[in-house]
Structure 1
Amino acid sequence: MRHCLPLLLILLGLPLQAAQLNLELGDHTQHWQTTQLLEHPQARDITINQDVTYKGTMRYRAVPLATLLEGVRPDDHLQAVALDGFAAEMPAAPLLQSGPAQAWLAVENPGQPWPPLAKGKPSAGPFYLVWTHPEASGIRPEQWPFQVATIRLLAPVEARFPALLPAPEVPADDPVRQGFALFQQNCLACHRLNGAGDAQFGPDLNLPHNPTEYFQPAFLRSFIRDPQSLRQWPQARMPGFPESVLGEQELDAVLAYLKHMAGRKHYTATP
């Protein structure tokens, strides 16, 4: 009977059960219900002109994210975890600013659900991190996590996952270092490397083999730019990274980091 309840509610024309957002912010945890957020004193109706997920103009009931991040400091590090295991790593400073780019938590009203992401797919709800004027701060697509379930305060990636670090002797201005930073922003939300990372979404990019080891360079670049141009697969979930998102020099840096890490495989012993 428990599994039949959502279907019964749909058949009766009733809204589905509201969701809960979990905030794990260091020494305190908060839980926000959908209704509480929709009725939040600072909730607003906002328009997003170039929505990253829906590829067009969308209107949302949303709360300034900074309002919910009590006690978080600009030099802190946050992670937004989605229902499907996507784990977006985000420095706190852009999330706390009130402009020019501003982060908002869009809240899906169960009685007025958002469009599905694709045929047979759910929507971007129940909670979706969106931005007004994202171009003003260079906000990347991976900083728009949807289907968010939890936002938590964590140590920076470098401290949590030393297996991701380039060799200590790599100079600070080396493209490998820039590639590591870009990898955190664009890849770590879906992938692990050397078994390190919190994502449960995509495959490990170094174990057992690094893509620089089995892709010819030109094909690897094509795959990153447009995965479907190399492997047409209806169920594929990896997005492409056009030059507007990842410039040529930035892509060079990511590939330099991956190639470097192919020589730094770290295997975790299993019990």
Structure 2
Amino acid sequence: MKALIVFGALLLSTPLYAAQLVLELGASTRTWQTEELLKHPDAQTVEIAEDVSYKKPMSYRAVPMTSLLTGIQPDDHLQAVALDGFAAEMPAAPLLNKSGARAWLAIEDPAKPWPSLGEGKSSAGPFYLVWTDPQAGRISPEQWPYAVANIKRLSAVAERFPALLPAPNLAKDDPINKGFELFQKNCLACHRLNGAGDAQFGPDLNIPFNPTEYFSGDFLKRYIRAPQGLRHWPQGKMPGFSAAVLPDSDLDLLVGYLKHMAGRKQPLAP
């Protein structure tokens, strides 16, 4: 019995480093443990003035993403998958910045856990992608995935999910195609459309109905700006997109893409 008590005391006094992050960046796969990342030679303390998830200033032990994305090029495409099914589609270029808006992987130290994200919720750990000076790159809230479990290099969204594509006869610089780019950046992490996408978080935005079909007037834009202002419930998780992140002109393009896709519905696979 004495031996069991001593063993239990040792367990309680020793930090647990159970979490792991899997990086699938092409030819190789690398699994990082929490302890390894906290001891990474490039790890440092970063101060986040306006944390997207905690809605207040936060301080983290973090590693610059440039130190982890070995072999990744600016024109590559990455996907960060969270434990809850959130799947952020991210062009690699912003993640490789060494100035301006800069991406960091924040690591939760089990000996110093982060606060809960709300009543009955866990923290943003064990791994959280945060940004310093995000305004310099107009970084979207969807580019701050938390509870990240996996980051992988994939082909572009348009190649993987043709059901998301606007009509092929549109010019490359058509406003609808620009709206499609904004949809990928701001919506695809949580939502599918025509059943296409990897997210398992929010509802499909075209099947059975597109939001442009049931939001009248400017209510869809108001909803995107402040979801809880139109539909308030404790489980609501959709963030609001401020004009600093999604200017009015971009919001018009995004809604234009959704309206266009209402006429391009495709049956879901059985």
* 1:215 maps to 2:212: no
Residue 22 of structure 1: aligned partner: 22
Per-residue Cα deviation, 1:224-260 (whole angstroms, up to 9, x for no partner): 1112222221111111122222111111111110010
Q: Distance in 1 between matches of 2:103 and 2:256?
A: 31
Q: Which residue of 1 aligns with 2:3?
A: none
Deviation, 1:268, is 3.4
Aligned to 1:4: none
Amino acid at match of 1:76: D
- Check conservation: 1:18, 1:110, Cα contact below 8 A: no
Alignment partners' CA distance in 2, 1:51 and 1:33: 24
Residue 13 of structure 1 and its aligned partner are, at CA, apart by 7.0
Moved over 2 A (4+): 11-18, 171-174
Alpha carbon RMSD of aligned pairs, Å?
1.7
Counterparts of 2:34 and 2:21, CA distance in 1: 8
Per the alignment, do residues 139 and 269 of structure 1 end up closer, same or farther by CA in structure 2, a change over 3 Å counting?
A: closer
Deviation per CA, 1:79-128, whole angstroms, max 9, x where unpaired?
00011111111111111121122211100001100111111111110001
Partner of 2:60: 60
Corresponding position of 1:132: 132
What runs of 5+ residues in structure 1 fail to find an aligned partner? 1-7
Conservation of the 8 A alpha-carbon contact between 1:78 and 1:151: yes
SS of equivalent residue, structure 2 residue 50: strand
Name the structure 2 match of 1:115.
Answer: 115
SS in 2 for 1:250: helix
- Structure 2, unpaired ranges of 5+: 1-7
Give CA-to-partner distance per residue, 1:165-213, whole Å, 9 cap, x none. Answer: 0001122332211110100000000000000000000000001111111
Q: Aligned partners of 1:82, 1:112: CA distance in 2, in Å?
A: 21
Instruction: State the alpha-carbon separation in 2 of the partners of residues 182 and 242 from structure 1.
Output: 14
SS of residue matched to 1:62: strand
* Matches of 1:263 and 1:205, distance apart in 2: 12
What is the aligned-residue identity percentage? 64
CA drift of 1:12 comes to 5.2
Counterpart-to-counterpart distance in 1, 2:70 and 2:17: 27
Which residue of 2 is the match for residue 3 of structure 1?
none
Asked if the contact 2:141/2:239 (under 8 Å) is kept, the reply is no
Q: Distance in 2 between matches of 1:264 and 1:100?
A: 39
Matching residue of 1:93: 93
The one-letter amino acid paired with 1:62 is: A
